[in-house]
Amino acid sequence: MNSKFFIISLFLTINIDLVRSQFHDTTELKLIINKLKTPEQHKIFWDKLYQIDQTLAQKGGNHDSIFERNLILASMYINKYGFPDPKRSGNNGYIASYIWVHTKYLDMEKFTFPIIMKGFKSGLIEYNDLVNYFISGMYTQEFDIDDNYQNISLNDLFYKLQLNLSDTIDIHKLLLKLNRFHSFEKGHRSNLGIWQIFTPRDTLRYNDIVIPRGGEGEKCQMFKHENENYYFGFLNSAVEYKEIEFLNANKTIFKTKYYHGIEYYEIMENGDITWFRKHNVTINMRKIRK
């Protein structure tokens, strides 16, 4: 296939109408993967996905449908060709990991982890990046990072996080999972309030000194879903809303469900929220809207 025509065809196919793309009909996506014959076409494929991924990430807003589409394409590619080989697609292997990182749902990261694992096994993702970047991002959503974290064996980390270690990604199951998330997103929500952080959220610890950084101004929301569960999370975030588990009868103290660490939130008498983190760090959130 003429390379110029291939580029145009790829661009048009990936950018199909968003209303249609939310259903993720994989017929055309499979055609794209199967048409990759030459090293140039493999390189064009990853270059185009990178262009779309970075353009949308910089724009902000909700582009979940396109990010999901890219994830499906990356998964199909990995299943058929393995992790991008520099000899075939140029130095583009990092693009597959970029697409994986922009996965909104933790469960989807776990299920599509073969993308990252294949990169590690091929030597194109280093051990340090595997543990301290890819795995740590998932780990901190469920556990506290402590001094022993880096001493946990890979097998124990995989087990604790229940990662998918299959050699390939089941595309049918991937689509079923996405459809469940779509159903959740479309469900009715009763808003219970919006809060704004007015103290730093992110912190570093160096020589027993807590160093605050960033987070001021970010907004959080709590709502009750039509499924009768409560959820909490950051507005306009690439991270999903987390289901809440209340820790007292008054429903004023809570943590996010499936989180096994010591951090928790408390709704104060004036309606503000205090986030109690490790190392005696507290984050204050002022209620700005019901």
92 and 222 fall within a common domain = no
Q: Are residues 132 and 41 in the same domain?
A: yes
Lowest mean pLDDT among 26-40, 129-143, 145-159, 223-237: 145-159
Cα 270 from chain centroid? 33
The pLDDT-based confidence of 206 (bands split at 50, 70, 90) is very low
DSSP 135: I
Contact 201, 194 (CB under 8 A): no
Tens digits of residue pLDDT in 60-118: 556 677 888 899 999 999 999 999 988 877 777 788 998 998 888 999 999 999 999 99
Do 29 and 168 have their domain in common?
Answer: yes
- Looking at the fold, whether 179 and 208 belong to one and the same domain comes out as no
> For residue 18, what pLDDT is reported?
38
123-127, 141-145, 189-193: range with lowest mean pLDDT: 141-145
Q: Which residue range forms the structural domain that includes residue 223?
A: 189-289
Answer yes or no: are the C-beta atoms of 229 and 244 closer than 8 Å: yes
Residues 150 and 272 in one domain: no
**Token pair in block for residue 277:** 């983190």
The answer to whether residues 235 and 178 belong to one domain is no
CATH number for the domain that contains residue 220: 2.40.128
Asked whether residue 212 falls in the same domain as residue 145, the answer is no
Question: Both 173 and 196 in a single domain?
Answer: no
Q: What is the total count of domains within the chain?
A: 2
Q: Are residues 282 and 210 in the same domain?
A: yes
Out of 183, 204, 231, a domain closes at: 183
Among 183, 207, 225, residue at a domain's last position:
183
Residue partners of 69: CB distance under 8 A and separation at least 6: 14, 21, 24, 29
**Long-range residue pairs from 200-209, CB within 8 A, at least 24 positions apart, any chain:** 200/283, 201/275, 201/283, 203/277, 203/279, 203/281, 205/279
Q: Is the dihedral of CA 259, 263, 268, 273 positive or negative?
A: negative
Same domain, 77 and 113: yes
| Residue 244, beta-bridge partner list | 256
Residues 253 and 142 in one domain: no
**Based on the domain organization, do 91 and 140 belong to the same domain?**
yes
Residue 178 CB neighbour total at 10 angstroms: 21
Q: Which two tokens mark 102?
A: 């922009």
The verdict on pTM exceeding 0.85 is no
Closest CA to 105 of 46, 159, 184: 184
User: Within 10 A of 248 (CB to CB), how many other CB atoms are there?
Assistant: 9
- Domain C-terminal end among 164, 183, 202: 183
pLDDT tens by residue, 10-42: 555 555 433 344 456 788 889 899 999 898 999
